């Protein structure tokens, strides 16, 4: 009909926001509990690359079924070790931290991890530590190593060990890439002594982890012992007995060995 009004089309219904608002949202991940693992590694375990080891450990703890905390930006949970373990070395008390999103009893954490660790590793102990403690790697200041030197003279090794500790400097050289690095081992050597006359003879060496100078390595200590004793020493085996944290060892300037002047700029690369 002429002049008749044409009805406007129906307006689309406004979205029902009540439905959207009712959809559940995932709660943010919150770290609630930190467990410090004490771990042992058998000798002869394949080391692989650092990345391979990290993936093996992340897979192992993920398979535990524990409510693991995942830091922002990470798809997998993280395990934080106190210090890298050199290739070919067995260990008796390595330290590593994992963080959970809920409070769990010690028995459940132990049972969840005990049979799922990477090949060659076993769980020795574990402790519930305060969530706010500093990062574990920053607390490690030294390590104890037990070194098998085979059939060598105990008196000669005892005298050589005393010679190292009495020395003010222990200048050494080692190959890094294609260049020779000159460094002083003495600031990184806290103790060395014969612990079993044998045969085989065992030496215990305590070496320091230093943020600038690096880490004293067992092979370096043995080489220095051999130089003092005038003998070529052969390492049968090395075991890292334990990592030592800052609150377990006083390394104040008054009681630690004085830091000698660097031999050259390459000395700061020690242990890196």
**Looking at the predicted structure, is the pLDDT value of residue 266 above 80?**
no
Q: 140-148 and 237-245: which strand pairing? A: antiparallel
The CA R_g of the chain, rounded to the nearest whole Å, is: 28
Pick the CATH number of 140-269 from 3.40.1130, 3.40.50, 1.20.1740, 3.30.70: 3.30.70
> What's the CA angle centered on 240, arms 237 and 245, to 5 degrees?
165
Among 49, 73, 53, smallest CA distance to 61 is for: 53
Q: Which residues of 196-235 are buried (b: 16+ CB within 10 A; e: fewer)?
A: eebeebbbbbbbbbbeebbbbbbebbbbbbbbbbeeebee
When the pLDDT of each residue in the chain is averaged and rounded to a whole number, the result is 83
Residue 130 is given by DSSP the state -
- Per domain, the residue ranges of the chain are 33-133, 140-269
**d(C-alpha 152, C-alpha 196), whole Å:** 11
Q: What is the CATH number of domain 33-133?
A: 3.30.70.580
**172 versus 267: which is more confidently predicted?**
172
Least confident of 96-100, 153-157, 195-199: 195-199
């Amino acid at each position: 009909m002429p002049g008749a009004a044409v009805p406007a089309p129906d307006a689309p219904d406004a979205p029902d926001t009540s439905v959207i608002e009712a959809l559940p949202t995932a709660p943010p991940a919150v770290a609630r509990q930190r467990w410090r693992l004490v771990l042992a590694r058998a000798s002869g375990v394949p080391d692989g690359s650092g990345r391979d080891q990290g993936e093996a450990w992340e897979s192992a703890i993920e398979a535990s079924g524990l409510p693991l905390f995942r830091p922002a930006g990470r798809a997998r949970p993280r395990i934080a070790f106190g210090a890298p373990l050199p290739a070919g070395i067995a260990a008796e008390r390595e330290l590593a931290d994992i963080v959970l999103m809920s409070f769990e009893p010690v028995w459940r954490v132990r049972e969840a991890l005990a049979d799922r660790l990477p090949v060659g590793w076993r769980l020795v102990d574990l402790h519930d530590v305060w969530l706010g403690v500093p990062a574990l790697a920053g607390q490690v200041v030294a390590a104890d190593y037990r070194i098998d030197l085979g059939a060598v003279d105990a008196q000669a090794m005892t005298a050589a060990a005393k010679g190292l500790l009495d020395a003010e400097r222990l200048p050494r050289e080692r190959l890094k890439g294609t260049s020779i690095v000159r460094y002083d081992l003495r600031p990184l050597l806290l103790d060395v002594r014969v612990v079993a006359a044998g045969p085989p003879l065992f030496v215990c060496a305590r070496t320091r982890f230093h943020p600038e100078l690096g880490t004293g390595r067992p092979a370096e200590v043995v080489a220095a012992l051999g130089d003092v004793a005038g003998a070529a020493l052969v390492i049968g085996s090395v075991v890292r007995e334990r990592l030592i944290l800052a609150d377990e060892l006083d390394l104040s300037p008054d009681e630690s060995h004085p830091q000698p002047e660097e031999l050259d700029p390459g000395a700061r690369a020690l242990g890196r």
